[in-house]
Structure 1
Amino acid sequence: MTSRSENLQALITRPRYVLFDFDGPICRFFAGHAADRVAVELVDWLDERGMQHLLTDDERRATDPWDVLRAADRRHHGKDVVVELEERLTQEELLAASSASPTAHADLLVRRLVERGVRLAVTTNNSPDAARRYLVDHGLEACFGPHVYGRTHDLSLLKPHPDCLLRALAALDAEPADALMVGDSPSDLVAAQRAGVAFLGYVRNDRKEQQLRDAGAEHLVSSLEDVLRALDG
């Protein structure tokens, strides 16, 4: 019978390309710049512009800024106020980049993959500018080069839509069968499935683990140290 460690080793040593979600697998992005406070500020900003009708009462209590952004876009897709709201979130993310906390073992895993000749990309719903700022600050920009694919003004293309993965695969000239995505949410899993890419879930707590198991994820790790061991095994 194949062991869990053997499965993980096969999963991580096979791909020629690895696509990382950003917030979670690479860092805790809002570690020093609370996401729930950003969500409140986005709601307040809409209120100040008389746009209360864009959010339900439940959406107004959201603790995730992307929930606020998605809700506004569903009812006002492509309108100037939604574009401005997205730009406001980008500014908050640029601030968050300076206080983000690296995920344990992520930096070493990224460098070890590059040493093995694996090509990397970031595929995220975050602002690509904010992700790049973090990578530069932590000396990882050379590991990814230009391959940071994040949120665009077309919010309908956020994961679980596979758009950012498809852009990464095209730019890397990669076949989906040769790639692996490392993500931490059901939307990452669905995006990987739609792009035809294998998936490894990083789960830092029981809630994340249950969400991914419920979504059908087969391969999960609670520490990237397990991935390093499998890579070196």
Structure 2
Amino acid sequence: MTPETGRTDLVTRAAEELRELVVRTRYVLFDFDGPICRLFHGYPATEIARAQVKWLKDQGRDGLLTEEERFSPDPHGVLSAFAARHPGSDLLIDLEEILTQHELRAAGVAWPTMYADPLIQTWVATGARLAIVTNNSARTVAEYLRDRKLLSCFAPHIYGRRAQEMHFLKPHPETLNRALRAMGAAPEASLMIGDTDSDADAARAAGVRFLGYASSARAVRRMRGAGVPERDIMDSLEPLLDAVRAVKHS
């Protein structure tokens, strides 16, 4: 067997495994930022994190964050850190709403993930039921999907961040379990597609098979570190779209 033949065999085997996975999957849980779009493509998350810290400073409450948190480039990290110390507070509710407003603006210039739109539409056409499970605001998700004319593919099954339940953000499996309960879905007939180690951990805790979408070598390393097998990590959604199309036309 030549090296070229060996590579062809591996590609063929991977395609067959994907088709078998699609055949077994009746419910698909998508993370939002990553597998469906790059939410902060045109609206850097670092700017949002700075705006959150400035707002707290304007309230005279920036001292509630550590020095590291005040300079964090991650707005979800700032919010989560604040929520851990002040759960259910009015300040937390206001801070979460500020993040939601920034996300809504980001959704207007978000960059669609290549092959995501046809993958969603084709999977729905096979009879599968789809849900979003995300640490972003459900309002943000709905706004983006509405603009892409994809909202009907998911609604009403969009499960996002809640200010009063920050402890349920992934890697906690609650958003996944909420989606499974609402759809009447068995975990063994379900699949999650995410792009972080927290997505992988949440899927594992919910008993749901996981496929990782990794757009960078760093993302691959983080997922491998979370125990995701290399065969379950994709750098493109195209092979999955091909598998869904193959099942649809079989």
Of residues 87, 99, 102, the one that matches 2:97 is 87
Q: Aligned pair count?
A: 233
Mapped to 2, the partners of 1:145 and 1:182 lie a distance apart of: 18
Render the CA deviation track for 1:59-97: whole Å, top value 9, x for unaligned. 111111000001111111111111110011011111111
Residue among 159, 165, 171 paired with 1:149: 159
1:181 aligns with 2:180: no
Structure 2: state its 5+ residue gaps. Answer: 1-8
Deviation at 1:28, TM superposition (A): 0.5
Larger Rg: 1 or 2? 2
Cα distance, 1:58 vs structure 2: 1.4
Listed as ranges, the matches of 1:215-226 within 5 Å are 215-218=226-229, 219-226=232-239
- From 61, 75, 94, the equivalent of 1:65 is 75
1:22-54 deviations in whole A, cap 9, x for unaligned? 000000011111111001110111111122232
Distance 2:39 2:73 in 1: 15
Q: Is the Cα–Cα contact under 8 Å of residues 122 and 245 in structure 2 kept in the other structure?
A: no
State how far apart, in whole Å, the 2-side matches of 1:211 and 1:6 are: 26
Shift of 1:12: 2.8
Measured in 1, the distance between the counterparts of 2:184 and 2:224 equals: 31
Q: Distance in 2 between matches of 1:51 and 1:212?
A: 36
* TM-score, structure 1 normalization: 0.96
Does structure 2 retain, via aligned residues, the 8 Å contact 1:128–1:148? yes
Alpha-carbon distance in structure 1 between the residues aligned to 2:50 and 2:177: 32
Question: In the alignment, does 2:179 pair up with 1:168?
Answer: yes
Deviation at 1:8, TM superposition (A): 2.6
Structure 1 unaligned blocks of 5 or more? none
Over 6 Å off, 4+ runs: none
How far apart, in 2, do the equivalents of 1:204 and 1:117 lie?
A: 28
The share of aligned pairs that are identical, in percent, is 48
Contact 1:54–1:71, Cα closer than 8 Å, also in 2: no
The two structures have a TM-score, normalised by structure 2, of 0.90
Give the RMSD, CA atoms, in angstroms. 1.4
Higher alpha-carbon deviation: 1-10 or 223-232: 1-10
